[in-house]
Structure 1
Amino acid sequence: MTDIECWLTDMDGVLVHENHPIPGASDLLQHWQETERPYLVLTNNSIFTARDLSARLAGSGIVVPEDHIWTSALATAAFLKQQMPGGRAFVVGEAGILTALHEAGFVMTESNPDFVVVGETRNYSFEAITKAIRLINRGARFISTNPDATGPSAEGPLPATGAINALITKATGREPYVVGKPNPMMFRSAMNRIGAHSENTAMIGDRMDTDIIAGMEAGLRTYLVMTGISDREEIEKYPFRPDVILDSVADLLPDR
């Protein structure tokens, strides 16, 4: 690990699990802060702003300044600003993606938008989805913050962004361009934010199908932890491997 200067890490399953801190996560973040290692916490969650997520993590005992959080909403806004500065968008989503697009200089509109952007929300409406379908059919570009088909809840899985993407695709025949993980673009935009380079940056995640494959395709060193959804049996399902497999982020502490 001596050649790793910058770190990217997933949030759920790596730092916290069901709002409970994973042992060692807080100490590792503090170590990075004290040694001035550039790092970002990445998440496909586009509901909340970075400030919201920083506050939620603090409630779990994990201190992460908002400028050290990079969401799929922020990555999507950065991508669209590059594509069409000052563009217009119709958004199906909540504060995370709406705030990110506003701060990127976009106008939110239902009238001839350049993009239809679908993000995560707990309040999907038939009316909003219908508008999205009609606008895409009229020529708006179809963009999505992330491909996750389901999200977690105390009662069980919830339909998430990927499920709504599929519904709109079925109705329009148009596939979205998805910016969040496993698109390595999200990792590249994160590295640009902290001035990192792939040859000296590592990604820590708990999912083979998002964190590890995206990190691998972005040219990063990849670390898979066993505190999320993956286990040894899960790893064998894929034709690729992480560089390192750890029980948890606690194994990255310097005294381990």
Structure 2
Amino acid sequence: MNGFLIDLDGTLYRGHEPIPGAAAFLQWLQQEQLPYLLVTNNSSRTPDQVAEHLQALGMEVPAAAVYTSSQAAAQYLTEQRAGQRVHMIGEDGLRIALDAAGFALDETTPDYVVQGIDRSFTYGKLTEAVRHLKHGATYVLTNPDRMLPSDGGLMPGAGSLAAAITAASGVEPVVIGKPSPIIMAYAIERLGLPAADVWVIGDNVHTDIRGGAMAGCRTALVLTGVATPDNVHEQLASAGLTPDLVCTDLPQFIAQLNDCR
């Protein structure tokens, strides 16, 4: 049996617009009773909020089928057992994940600086983070994405904020989100299948496809987001990667998958 780790933005939807065929793809997975997990680098939303967003776009997915970089960051910190005090730079999705895992927000002497997307990032927040890192806190980054798609065009992502923090502090973060093997290992473990039986599906060669390949999964690139029919050859060349499948969209993935069986 195959399992599936599926990206969200650029794969199932673009901002507030569903991608054609995405709802039918999820229905196919559910009808075939195939195990799947929606894995996102977006640290700003909780799984419940992701499920609500998908529902508004006509896709019925339980919150338990969503795994975010914030959840993975909290899981990573729990496994480290090196302190419970966290200085957080981020939004509700990260705060709620850390709270659920039992971490206490501490603005004075944190063990960790945990950073995700923060659309209210300021010079003051940069200064605080750098000071904590200079005093020995461990730096953990939810995801390395430098730019994010939005309804108004691209906007700076968590990786752009991390670039400023790293430049000022001289401290490189532990990266949790795709293509990091950390989130990939956690997601594969949740599916309960060998990596070789898992398909990673996404629109970004540098995060989704690279992460899947490094984890030993099979990979399918869909040309509905970062990768498009116009730029796919450039994207693949810049990454130096060859996915197992390149598909125009998710319905074509189903057709190609059936041909592979």
TM-score (norm 1): 0.94
The equivalent of 1:121 in structure 2 is: 118
Partner of 1:179: 176
2:229 is the counterpart of 1:246: no
Contact 2:82/2:111, CA 8 A, preserved across alignment: no
Q: Does 1:192 pair with 2:183?
A: no
RMSD: 1.6
Give 1:127 deviation, angstroms: 2.0
Identical pairs, percent: 37
- Other-structure match for 1:78: 75
Match of residue 224, structure 2, among 208, 224, 227: 227
TM-superposed CA distance for 1:86, in Å, is: 6.0
Residue 130 (structure 1) aligned with residue 135 (structure 2)? no
CA distance in 1 between counterparts of 2:133 and 2:96 reads 22
Unaligned runs of 5+ in 2: none
Q: Is the 8 A contact 2:83 2:111 kept in 1?
A: no
**Corresponding residue for residue 15 of structure 1:** 12
With over 3 angstroms needed to count, the CA separation of the structure-2 counterparts of 1:61 and 1:36, relative to structure 1, is same
CA distance in 2, matches of 1:214, 1:253: 21
Q: TM-score, normalised by structure 2?
A: 0.92
Structure 1 letter corresponding to 2:157: A
3-state secondary structure, aligned to 1:90: strand
* Structure-2 residue corresponding to 1:33: 30
Q: Deviations over 1:5-29 (max 9, x none)?
A: 2100101111112322222211111
- Structure 1 unaligned regions, length at least 5: none
In structure 2, which of residues 36, 39, 44 is the aligned counterpart of residue 47 of structure 1? 44
Conserved in 1, the CA contact under 8 Å of 2:86 and 2:104? yes
Residues in 1 aligned to 2:220 and 2:106: alpha-carbon distance in whole angstroms: 41
Separation in 1, partners of 2:89, 2:215 = 28
